[in-house]
């Protein structure tokens, strides 16, 4: 790609609270947005739980950081790929995920969904197009 | 651990002056922090601080300057949603300094 803009894809594969990976990855994503790169996220395997709706961490004593995913649109990160098979294998559907949206600057700030449902095969193709793929 | 004294209470802050316990915040803390930084707080400062606290309440993160600027422009108008205006209010940076006064952590991505 031209202008020094690279395509970064952050692949999230782990549930949000058992390890630090989800939170650390989210922080790297928010930092990367400051460098005007093309950033997309993937949620697959147990990573789909990161954007599950109605998260409640009261029992674990950990901070519920899931609202921060709703800020991704403000950071111009609006390609959140969710792997269809991963949802199905866990008995989940799009209805179980947070309503993540962004405002399209080129379309009079219309609110549009950021979540894009893709199959495992489509995801492989998308990964192929990236300059950098970082998984956690 | 460093502390600042506000209304007779010892408030814990980290080595950069940010609140250790975000829940311990009350408005006089912002005023005291501003005094330490030699910033005189006016209504315009409070608008931004209140805005930041609402943003944190909703998203659980302190926004990056770029995001703050855009969001302020949307909520308080274009004449306030620009970095020149925000830097005039908070000379050490609207991200770092305003977040500190508001009792928020240092914005993600600030070094």
Angle at A89 between CA A128 and CA A98, to 5 degrees: 80
* Chain A residues 4-43 within an 8 A CB cutoff of chain B: 27, 30-31, 33-34
For residue B60, being part of any structural domain is answered with yes
Contacts of B59 in chain A (CB under 8 A): 67-68, 70-71
* pLDDT for A10: 97
User: Measured between alpha carbons, how far is A62 from B25 in angstroms, rounded to an integer?
Assistant: 20
| Facing A74 at nearest CB: one of B60, B71, B108 | B71
Handedness of CA B9, B14, B20, B24 (dihedral sign): positive
> Count of A–B CB contacts within 8 Å?
35
CATH code of the domain in which B73 resides: 1.10.10.370
- Whole-number pLDDT of residue B97: 93
pLDDT score recorded for residue B110: 57
Residue B90 lies inside a defined structural domain of this protein: yes
Note the pLDDT tens digit of each residue in A41-78: 999 999 999 999 999 999 988 899 999 999 999 999 99
Q: Say if B72 falls within a structural domain.
A: yes
Please report the residues numbered 7 through 66 in chain B whose beta carbons come closer than 8 angstroms to any beta carbon of chain A: 58-61, 63-64, 66
Give the pLDDT confidence score for residue A16 in this predicted structure: 96
CB contact (8 A) between residue B60 and residue A27? no
The whole-angstrom separation of Cα B76 and Cα B45 is 12
The predicted pLDDT at position A128 comes to 97
Query: What secondary structure does DSSP assign to B77-97, as a single string?
Result: -TTTSSHHHHHHH-TT-IIII
Cβ distance of B58 and A67 shorter than 8 Å: yes
Say what percent of chain A tops pLDDT 90.
82
C-beta separation of A134 from A11 below 8 A:
yes
Residue A65: which of B58, B60, B109 has the nearest Cβ? B60
In a domain, B107, yes or no: no
Checking ipTM against 0.85, whether it exceeds it is no
Domain boundaries, position B43: 2-101
Nearest CA in chain B to A75: B67
Average pLDDT over residues A103-115: 91
pLDDT at B109: 60
User: Would you say B42 and B101 are in contact if contact means Cβ atoms under 8 Å apart?
Assistant: no
Residue B106 domain flag: no
Domain assignment present for residue B58? The answer is yes
CB within 8 Å of A99: residues ≥ 6 apart: A53, A113
Per cent of chain A over pLDDT 70 is 99
pLDDT (tens digit, 9 = 90+) per residue, A116-126? 999 999 999 99
Q: Could you tell me if residue B47 is inside a domain?
A: yes
Go through the domains of chain A in sequence order and give each one's CATH number. 7-135 (3.40.1260.10)
As a whole number of angstroms, the distance between CA A7 and CA A15 comes to 25
The answer as to whether B11 is a domain residue is yes
How many domains is chain B partitioned into structurally? 1
Dist CA A27 CA A20 (whole Å): 11
The 8 Å CB, 24+ separation contacts for A5-8 are: A5/A36, A5/A37, A5/A38, A6/A37, A6/A38, A6/A131, A6/A132, A7/A37, A7/A38, A7/A40, A7/A129, A7/A130, A7/A131, A7/A132, A8/A32, A8/A37, A8/A38, A8/A39, A8/A40, A8/A130, A8/A131, A8/A132, A8/A133, A8/A134
Residue A34's pLDDT band (cuts 50, 70, 90): confident
């Amino acid at each position: 790609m031209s202008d020094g803009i690279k395509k970064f894809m952050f692949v999230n594969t782990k549930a949000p609270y058992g390890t630090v990976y989800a939170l650390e990855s989210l922080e790297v994503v928010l930092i990367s947005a400051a460098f005007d790169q093309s950033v997309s996220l993937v949620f697959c395997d147990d990573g789909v739980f990161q954007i599950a709706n109605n998260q409640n961490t009261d029992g674990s004593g950990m901070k519920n950081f899931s609202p921060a995913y709703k800020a991704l649109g403000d950071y111009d990160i609006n390609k959140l790929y969710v792997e269809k098979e991963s949802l199905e294998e866990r008995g989940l559907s799009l209805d179980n995920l947070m309503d993540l949206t962004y405002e399209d600057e080129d379309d009079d700030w219309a609110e549009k969904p950021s979540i894009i449902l893709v199959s495992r095969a489509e995801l492989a193709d998308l990964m192929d197009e990236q300059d950098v793929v970082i998984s956690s | 651990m460093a502390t600042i004294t506000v209304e007779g209470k010892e408030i814990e802050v980290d080595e950069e002056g940010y609140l250790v316990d975000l829940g311990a915040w009350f408005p006089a803390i912002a005023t005291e922090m501003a005094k330490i930084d030699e910033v005189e707080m006016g209504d315009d400062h409070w608008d931004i601080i209140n805005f930041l606290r609402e943003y944190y309440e909703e998203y659980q993160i302190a926004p990056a300057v770029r995001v703050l600027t855009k969001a302020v422009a949307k909520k308080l108008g274009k004449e306030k949603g620009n970095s020149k205006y925000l830097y005039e209010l908070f000379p050490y940076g609207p991200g770092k300094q305003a977040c500190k006064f508001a009792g928020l952590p240092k914005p993600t991505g600030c070094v």
